[in-house]
Structure formats: structure tokens, C-alpha cells
Amino acid sequence: MALRQIREIGDDILLKPCRDVKEITPHVRELIDDMFETLYDADGVGLAAPQVGILKKIVIIDTGDDPHVLINPVIISQSGEQEGSEGCLSVPGKYGIVKRPMYVKVSYYDENMERREMEGTELMARAICHELDHLEGKLYVDMTKDGLHDVEEEEEDGGEKD
């Protein structure tokens, strides 16, 4: 395993759409392992492959319960609404207020290319939406209610970093 460099806003790769994963190669497994190492090192909640410079539809999410790997994920149902603070490892030191669904259901493939479905509410729903946006080259900074705010130093541990 190895840490990968997290691409930051201004890097064009974050604005490009990703390709489907066709099969789980050793290369893809290594990427997923590296993404988890990079996510935990950065103390984040989620990470999408383009954030480490790879244009493949892979996201990982760990909101503190279990680590999830979502390959070729698609949101198949959503409901409700939540408005809350959101940050991104690719936009360090900033946060913004973003509206997201309160509930989402996502269809995806796991690390063995088995088709699965997962439901999420609150933080998990927000994380799923945020990470899936990355796969389409979309960043939360373009969806904020009133722009970006600076994270105060003393509050740095309190923010969610997807």
C-alpha cells in the first residue's frame, strides 16, 4: 500500500468524467487499497478515484461504521432534503453549505464485481452524493448556498471532509 497524492481544486482532472470499471485487476485492487490508506491518513470520510488522479468510477466511503467500496455506482432512488456543511479533501481548509437528499439508494459493484445495493441517510447520503459527483467531474464548490468559507483552525476536527 502507498499514499497517493490528493489532487486539489485547479487540477483539470477533477473536472473530467470517469470511465466504468470493466474488471477487477490487481492494479484496481492496489488502487482501492491505496485510496483507503490515503483517506485515513487525511482523516476524511470519502474519496473518489479522480481525487488521486485516476479517471475510474470507484469511490470509497467510511463514515465510521464500515468501509465501503462502490464501483460503477448509480443512484437509483432518493428522497427528502438536508442542508448542511460540506468539505472536500481536494479543497483543503474550506467548507460550504450544500443541499442534498436526506435518503439515497445506490446500485454498485463491490470489489468482487458482485452487484449490490446500499441505502444511506444523513451523513451517508451526503457522502454518497458528494463522491458520486466526483465521478462526473462535479465539485461541491459549484453547489454551495453562499460560497466557500474558511475552516477555523480550532474547528478543524469538527468538519466533515469527503
| Chain positions contacting Zn ion, by CB under 5 A | 88, 162
Closest distance between Zn ion and the C-beta of residue 138, in Å? 10
3-state secondary structure of 78: strand
Give the residue at shortest CB distance from Zn ion: 88
- Comparing CB distances to Zn ion, the nearer of 39 and 88 is 88
Q: Is 131 one of the catalytic residues?
A: yes
- Comparing CB distances to Zn ion, the nearer of 41 and 113 is 41
- Comparing CB distances to Zn ion, the nearer of 47 and 71 is 47
Catalytic residue among 131, 153, 155, 156: 131
Closest distance between Zn ion and the C-beta of residue 152, in Å? 20
Closest distance between Zn ion and the C-beta of residue 127, in Å? 9
Which residues form the catalytic set? 131
